[in-house]
Amino acid sequence: MTLNVLFAASDLYLGNTIWYLITFAFLLLLIKRYAWGPVSEMMEKRRQKVINDLDSAASERKRAETLANEREAALKNSRQEATKILSDAKDNAQKTSTEIVAGANSEAASIRQKAEEDAKQAKAKALEDARQQVADISVAIAEKVIAKNLSAEDQKDLVDQFIKGLND
Amino acid sequence: MEKPFVFEFLGLKFDLVGIIGSTLMALVVLFICIWLSRKVEMRPNKKQNVLEYLLDFTDGIVRDNVEDVDAQKHLSLYAFVLFLFIWFMNQLGLFLEVKVDDFMIIKSPTADPVTTMSFAMMTLLLSFTFGIQKFGTGGYLKNYLAPVWFLLPVNIIEEFTNFLTLSLRLYGNIYAGEVLLTLIGNRLAPSLGISTMVLTAPLAMIWQGFSVFIGSIQAYVFVTLSMVYIGKKVTKE
């Protein structure tokens, strides 16, 4: 047993140490190239992505909040505007209707006045015409009476004749 | 007692057990990692999740023990590969032990002090490198005089004790597990014929399960302590 231990001590295989170092170095390089490198790179990328996503989510929420506020304000504004427009329109309509009614009234009055004047004029003209005719007739009758000595009967015939002629 | 299969090459002695075991496990680690990371996507698939969980786990070890952010970035890969490699080497001897004519061919490489010392040495050298990179050679050497000058011998001895505890803890745990497993399988089981063979089967199974647990814990401890030592070198006390 003692001999064995001594034998083992003289047999210190330092070559193995070098072999382990070489093996480990190769293992290190290959794993870095094929497994550790890509995976840790991807983990870092994912970390960055999560950070970015969180940041963008926060900013998006802020934006949405301001948008909602803006929309609410706009809604309130538009409601006010709508009521204003409505009242304006009502006012306008009333004004226009009174204007139209007043215009119609005045027009009707002027038309009536004109009609009255026309009627008056027509009447005056008719009277004038009648007067003229009566005068003419009187002259004609007088002429006939003077031109012929007439019997009463003849006179009556004449008048009748004349009146007949008037009727024609 | 099995003999190690040692041969000489270029004036250096090589032990076949460690070389076969470590190379085999390095290939296994490499293929598993490549298989898990075949499709790397922004929305991780199941295989990528496993790899990311492992990476997160070893990154957690690094983050907890190294305060320097720049060093953390550089140590992430080292911790990841070291953890997987040591874990697989710890487990190798539990399910596969090949013996040819009294010569061991395959067993856990970490059940051998030379292996564990190699990895401890690697960590130690890495910690020196990180310390010198951070503080410069003068600043690094001055750290041996901290916090007071007469602690210099203690600080120097600490380097050796760190090296020894780091390597021998791993070696002892894995070696003990394998010895007990061999004892159960080779000595206890055939001692009274069939009856003991049947009776020792569950015992071997329980011990194997326990050894898996120990192997995992030891891989975790090895990586953690490596990070503690390196972390100590890059922070000013």
Residue B47 in this model has a pLDDT that exceeds 70:
yes
Concatenate the DSSP letters of all residues of B150-216 into one string.
GGHHHHHHHHHHHHHHHHHHHHHHHHHHHHHHHIIIIIITTTTTHHHHHHHHHHHHHHHHHHHHHHH
Residue B36's closest chain A neighbor by CA?
Answer: A35
- DSSP state at residue A32: I
Is residue A5 within 8 angstroms of chain B, CB to CB? no
| pLDDT top residue among B152 and A147 | B152
pTM of the model as a whole = 0.69
A15/B contact by beta carbon, under 8 A: yes
pLDDT value of position B144: 80
Q: Do A19 and B121 touch (CB under 8 A)?
A: no
Q: Is the pLDDT of residue B1 over 70?
A: no
State how far the Cα of B13 lies from the Cα of A15, in Å rounded to an integer.
Answer: 5
| Cross-chain residue pair B42–A46, CB shorter than 8 Å | yes
The C-alpha of A32 sits at a distance from chain B's nearest C-alpha, in angstroms, of 7
A24 vs B146, more confident: A24
How high is the mean pLDDT of chain A? 85
Mean pLDDT of A130-148: 83
> CB A31 to CB B30 under 8 A?
yes
Per-residue pLDDT at A6 exceeds 50 = no
How many percent of chain A have pLDDT more than 90? 47
Kindly tell me if the per-residue pLDDT of B4 is higher than 80.
no
Of all residues in chain A, the one with the smallest CA distance to B79 is A28
pLDDT in tens, A37-90: 888 888 888 889 999 999 999 999 999 999 999 999 999 999 999 999 999 999
β B98-100/B12-15 pair status: unpaired
| Mean pLDDT comparison of A131-145, B103-117, B211-225, highest-scoring range | B211-225
What counts of helices (H) and strands (E) characterise chain A? 4, 0
Please state the rounded mean pLDDT for residues A12-31.
84
Which residues have a Cβ under 8 Å from the Cβ of A134 and sit 6 or more positions away? none
Identify the band that residue A168 occupies on the pLDDT scale cut at 50, 70 and 90: low
CB–CB contact B55 A36 (8 Å): yes
Q: Name the pLDDT band for B2 (thresholds 50, 70, 90).
A: low
